[in-house]
Amino acid sequence: MIEVTDATFAAEVLESDRPVVVDFWAPWCGPCKAIAPILAGLDAAHDNVKFVKLDIDENPGAAGKYGILSIPTVMVFDGGEPKETVVGARPKAHFEKALAPWISA
């Protein structure tokens, strides 16, 4: 997973030619650390979707624009638009189901 910033968010996420899964997280967030291996595993298994992470403490612009009030929040962007949101630490099966329209394409 690559790190994106407010400065690179548009190019890496909104202008991407494939769906992008964005992990909005912070270093102090325990549940964020808990889901990181799940998202990394999904990233390794699915080449048709890009997985990125954005530290909301260092990059409040994108987090504010998309109304991130609780972390972890994982959003799928497709065609530059948010399409799916998962809030909170969830098991792998939950992420697989929520992301299925994009990761199984």
Q: Which of 20, 21, 29, 74 is catalytic?
A: 29
**How far is the C-alpha of 45 from the C-alpha of 62, rounded, in Å?**
27
81 is catalytic: no
Q: Which of 21, 22, 32, 86 is catalytic?
A: 32
29 is catalytic: yes
| Catalytic residue annotation | 29, 32
